[in-house]
């Protein structure tokens, strides 16, 4: 019998998952379309590899095992799986068609709605993926300023201008790599020191898990204005979660440009670039950025329905409240077992992350142990609490009860100093992007 959401006697049967995986190995390179969904981030031998369906905050894998999901499909599920209002909007539009030979009125309707809810949206551009709109923002910033260099902080997609500064930079010309620099979040002095007359834009995630300190975002906006550098907020994770209008509404800082995707269509592929009219005007003439599927109508309909639901139901307040319960609850449980110095849940309530101190042992081994035990108990766990509107009080209380069962296992393994021996599956793989201490200070321009 498949596992359900309870303290199951056995780890889930993943035979069918493994069958699909073995088939995929013969035809796919890479094996996953999204790194964070791939088998390297879930302990092989215990975790499922393929999911079949979802409803609300729950998922079922291809073997029929059921889980509470705290990954939100790596961000897009702001409301929940098969959310009725959104699904009905998609079905209604599907009766009329998916994509067309001219523009569609939904493009205008969505843009008008975005202008109502996003503070900096003097103008709106619609595309399909986060990487698309990040690159469009960088291109138009360079065109507007006549400058080339970019400072960045966070993760901004797979395109050359950004990925060239990571360890996965094969195939990126050195000249492109040398145009982008990284900076440390909250270090305004390092940015001031490095800024020069050739920095076109500073792009950053307004926060990842660390909160801005000492009016960092406000100061950054002022520094950019004084230098003639455009400020770009990458709001893939913050948009429509921390507030309806994203981090720029929450922190009351208006960037020149901002980019959104993930949460704004509850799983349908769409991305948005908002910003100053004078900058965005360049897309009408000098800057080329178009895509065949930019006006695909199912995603437009889904986005309109999603944003209206987020607005009308005050979803950000719900995510904050329920996310706070699980974040604080985790930390209380860790303290109960004397592990408060070894593991902690951090971040804003809408999206928090479980961390492990170096003293706990190999971080990937410790995380794999927590993951295997949470999966056994029916929680698809990857270290995050990406909250959605469908997470119920029952989901949260059950998850906390699962943490309470797993914490003594974790403690015993840590104290044994041989966490790996507790693993039923493989250790998780490292990724090129860390979630803390991942930045280097910008390099000063050479004369």
Q: 124-146, pLDDT tens digit by residue? A: 999 999 999 999 999 999 999 99
Q: What is the pLDDT of residue 430?
A: 84
What SS3 class is residue 405? helix
Residue 345's alpha-carbon distances to 195, 321, 361, 424, in angstroms, are: 35, 15, 17, 25
Per the CB < 8 A criterion, the answer to whether 12 and 48 are in contact is yes
Q: What is the pLDDT of residue 442?
A: 54
Lowest mean pLDDT among 18-32, 305-319, 431-445: 431-445
For the chain, give the mean pLDDT.
95
In the chain, the N- to C-terminal Cα span, in Å, equals 69
Query: Could you tell me the two tokens for 26?
Result: 């013969």
- Percentage with pLDDT > 70 across the chain: 96
The CB density around residue 91, as the number of other CB atoms within 10 Å, is 11
Q: Kindly tell me if the per-residue pLDDT of 435 is higher than 50.
A: no
Using the 8-state DSSP alphabet, how is residue 349 labeled? Answer: T
pLDDT digits (tens, 9 = 90+) for 45-86: 999 999 999 999 999 999 999 999 999 999 999 999 999 999
Cα separation, 14 vs 353, in Å, equals: 26
pLDDT digits (tens, 9 = 90+) for 246-273: 999 999 999 999 999 999 999 999 999 9
Q: What is the pLDDT of residue 436?
A: 37
Exposed (0-12), middle (13-18) or buried (19+): which is 26, by Cβ within 10 Å?
Answer: exposed
Per the CB < 8 A criterion, the answer to whether 5 and 58 are in contact is yes
Question: 431: pLDDT confidence band, cut at 50, 70 and 90?
Answer: confident
| Sign of torsion over alpha carbons 404, 405, 408, 409 | negative
Q: What is the pLDDT of residue 202?
A: 98
- More confident call, 433 vs 423: 423
């Amino acid at each position: 019998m498949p596992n359900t959401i309870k303290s199951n006697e056995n780890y889930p049967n993943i035979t069918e998952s493994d069958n699909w995986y073995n088939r995929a190995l013969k035809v796919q390179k890479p094996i996953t379309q999204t790194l964070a969904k791939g088998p390297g981030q879930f302990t092989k031998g215990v975790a499922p590899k393929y999911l079949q369906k979802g409803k609300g905050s729950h998922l079922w894998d291809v073997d029929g095992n059921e889980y509470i999901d705290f990954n939100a499909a790596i961000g897009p599920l702001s409301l929940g799986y098969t959310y009725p209002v959104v699904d009905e909007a998609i079905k209604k539009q599907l009766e009329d068609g998916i994509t067309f030979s001219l523009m569609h009125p939904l493009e205008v309707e969505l843009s008008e709605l975005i202008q109502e809810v996003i503070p900096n949206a003097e103008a709106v551009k619609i595309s399909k993926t986060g990487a698309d709109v990040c690159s469009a923002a960088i291109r138009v910033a360079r065109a507007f300023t006549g400058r080339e260099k970019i400072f960045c902080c966070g993760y901004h997609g797979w395109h050359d201008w950004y990925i060239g500064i990571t360890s996965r930079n094969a195939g990126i010309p050195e000249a492109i790599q040398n145009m982008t620099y990284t900076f440390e979040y909250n270090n305004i002095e390092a940015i001031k020191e490095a800024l020069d007359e050739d920095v076109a834009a500073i792009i950053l995630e307004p926060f990842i898990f660390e909160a801005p300190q000492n009016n960092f975002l406000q100061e950054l906006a002022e520094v950019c204005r004084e230098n003639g550098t455009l400020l770009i907020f990458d709001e893939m994770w913050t948009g429509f979660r921390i507030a309806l209008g994203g981090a720029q509404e929450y922190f009351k800082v208006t960037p020149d440009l901002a980019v959104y995707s993930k949460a704004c269509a509850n799983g349908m592929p769409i991305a948005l670039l908002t910003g100053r009219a004078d900058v965005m005007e360049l897309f009408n003439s000098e800057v080329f950025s178009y895509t065949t599927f930019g006006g695909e109508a199912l995603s437009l309909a889904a986005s309109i329905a999603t944003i209206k639901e987020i607005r009308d139901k005050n979803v950000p307040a719900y995510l904050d409240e329920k996310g706070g319960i699980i974040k604080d609850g985790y930390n209380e449980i860790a303290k109960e077992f004397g592990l408060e110095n070894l593991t902690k849940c951090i971040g804003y309530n809408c999206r928090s992350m479980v961390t492990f101190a170096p003293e706990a042992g190999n971080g990937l081994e410790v995380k794999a142990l927590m993951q295997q035990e949470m999966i056994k108990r029916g929680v698809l766990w990857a270290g995050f609490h990406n909250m959605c509107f469908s997470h119920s009080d029952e989901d949260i209380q059950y998850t906390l009860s699962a943490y309470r069962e797993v914490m003594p296992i974790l403690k015993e393994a840590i104290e044994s100093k041989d966490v790996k021996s507790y693993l039923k599956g493989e250790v998780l793989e490292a990724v090129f992007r860390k979630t803390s201490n991942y930045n280097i200070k910008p390099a000063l321009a050479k004369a």
